[in-house]
Amino acid sequence: MANLQDYVIWRGDLSFAERPLTELDNLVLCQLSYIDMSSVFPHGEVIALRDVVQALLDRGGIRTLVADGEEKHDEYEEFARAAAASRRFGSLLMTNYEDILDPQQQIQFSAVTFRISRDTAFIAFRGTDDSLVGWKEDFMLSFEKIPAQEQALSYLMRVMQPDLRYYIGGHSKGANLALYASCLLPKEQFGQLLHVYVNDGPGLCPDVLDTSVIERIDPITTKIVPEYDVIGKIFEMPITDNRIVRSNARGVLQHGILTWQLRDAGLDLVSSNAPGSMWIGQVLDQWIGGVSNVEDRKTFVNDLFDTIGACGITNFNELSGVGPDGLERMLGTVSHISPVTLDVARALPVAAVTGQRSQDTWTYRLTNLLKNSVLTRALLLIVSGLCAMLIPNELLPLSIAIGMTAFAAFELVYTFRRLKALHWDLKAMQAQAFICLASIAIYLMILIKDGALMLLSNAIFGTLFLLMAYHIADRIKGQKRHSFRFFWSIAEAVLLTLMAIFILIAPSGAVGGFTFGTGIVCFADGILHLADAISQRRRGRPAE
């Protein structure tokens, strides 16, 4: 199958006067906008594409600013060479090149104007490069207008000349910038737009901007996404001219423009997106929608990128070179992330498994109750501790088996109902069907294979103890030094850690005794919580 480079070679001998700009030319120019031209592009000057490419080659090579730019360096450089050598693209004059990367202002922005003819031009906005700043801006789209959006609007208002008509385009975040800036152009300049190309980019967050502005540009807008579309599903906009193109890549790698396939000098279109990408899109919608407070989204994004940046890198290509010191700093940052971030992170697997927003699930409501009521938490710990101490060891495997049975039954019923609602479209439910089959397989394994149930029991209790120890250790930071609660928490954390280590390496029959030990710890912790709640209420203060 042919791709965009083949198009450049096949149609590169035709000028824009002989063959007007098409959707494929839009893709070529958007791909070229990823080239780092900052070292050879004089400020305010006009320079032909072939001269830019030659100047870069003379300086040692062409750097394409995408996440896989180093991995696919030769492929991207070959594409740039082919475009520069063609009659159609090589003679295009480029002007108003801007490239801004400012970690302090949290902005990554780049745009360039291609002169197509005497009276038309194409403005291309670069998408996300390989910098942490650029990727953080992508996440920031979910809670605020990002600096790059404002810069894109400013760019159009500054560079558009009254005697020219314009095509606007972009890929990835660049598509979002093209969408945002075109929607908000003043009336006089809006009338100069010929067409807007949105190439696999996220839409506009409805919590940040009134998305009805899309109606203004819908008649002159074309949206192009790959078959396995993930990025374009984020805040998806209702654009009428929506095209889905076949790709020769797998999964999310279809995001790359050069993987998109052509047929008969046009895009090789398909009728619908891949089921897997549709499922991911639904999960992301439920996850983002489930975090209704935009401030919580902001906290999550800041913590996430503070953690990644703690190892001293500035772009994702440097991740492979992170040493032990960098990993240690990352882990140190993780230990200080906010509870809000943990809640947001937990909401993702909830959305993936249940298909619901986290706050719509009974587990979320129960967790919220436990967080906000010390008395409820204390009583639950006391009851749990008593149950763990009183349940005979022989009933423990049975309890776990019943729990696994309930989970497998829930997955089976839930998957069946979803399949029925989707008219038995197995492809659309591929991921959920896998989860269901995996739970059934584990259930059958513990029924048939000797020792499997006890092995699973050890793993469950060992992991549970480690999680409890971590939670208690994290709680120590907010307690007064040298208080009874402070020393009790340290003792609890150490005891649970030792129990977890032992049970994970212990023989299969060792779970029962540790169940009793867990019961004692939970019961004592519940009593302590209860005493603390009563003491705080007597002092007229809410329990912490």
CATH code (residue 218): 3.40.50
Amino acid at 22: T
Query: Mean pLDDT of successive 10-residue segments in the chain (544 residues)?
Result: 91 92 97 93 85 93 79 89 96 94 87 96 90 73 83 96 97 94 94 97 84 91 93 86 93 89 91 80 67 69 68 61 54 56 55 48 47 61 70 63 76 77 66 75 70 68 75 71 72 77 64 64 74 66 48
The full 3-state SS of 429-475, as one line of letters, equals CHHHHHHHHHHHHHHHHHHHCCCHHHHHHHHHHHHHHHHHHHHHHHH
Q: How many domains does the chain have?
A: 3
Distances (CA, A) of 201 to 180, 181, 235: 11, 14, 9
Check whether residue 368 and residue 383 sit in a common domain: no
Q: Which residue among 283, 318, 351 closes a domain?
A: 283
Domain boundary among 221, 248, 283: 283
| Residue that is last in its domain, among 228, 259, 283 | 283
pTM equals 0.67
Residue type, 502: F
> Mind spelling out the 3-state secondary structure of 137-184?
HHHHCCCCCCHHHHHHHHHHHHHCCCCCEEEEEEECHHHHHHHHHHHC
Burial label for 321, CB within 10 Å (0-12, 13-18, 19+), is: exposed
CB 420 within 8 A of CB 465: no
Q: Please say whether the beta carbons of 262 and 24 come within 8 A.
A: yes
Same domain, 14 and 68: yes
Domain membership of residue 268 as a residue range: 4-283
In a shared domain, residues 191 and 216 = yes
**Residue of 333, 277, 283 lying closest to 303 (CA atoms):** 333
Question: What is the rounded CA–CA span in Å between residue 490 and residue 497?
Answer: 11
Instruction: Count, in order, helices (H) and strands (E) of the chain.
Output: 21, 11
Instruction: Clarify whether residues 464 and 495 are in a common domain.
Output: yes
If asked whether residues 350 and 419 sit together in one domain, one would say: no
Model pLDDT, residue 321:
55
Query: What contacts 134, CB < 8 A, 6 or more positions away?
Result: 101, 108, 128, 173
Q: What is the pLDDT of residue 95?
A: 95
* Residues sharing a CB contact under 8 Å with residue 89, sequence separation 6 or more, in sequence order: 8, 12, 28, 29, 32, 49, 83
Are 184 and 218 in the same domain?
Answer: yes
Instruction: Say whether both 409 and 503 belong to one domain.
Output: yes
Contact partners, residue 60, CB within 8 Å, separation at least 6: none
56 and 135, same domain (yes or no): yes
88 and 191 together in one domain: yes
Task: Say what the pLDDT of residue 360 is.
Answer: 46
273 shares a domain with 315: no
CA distance 373 to 393: 32
Whether residue 269 is found in the same domain as residue 168: yes
CB 48 within 8 A of CB 90: yes
Residue with tokens 């031209």: 37
Give the pLDDT confidence score for residue 364 in this predicted structure. Answer: 47
Query: Quick one: 450 and 333 in the same domain?
Result: no
SS3 357: coil
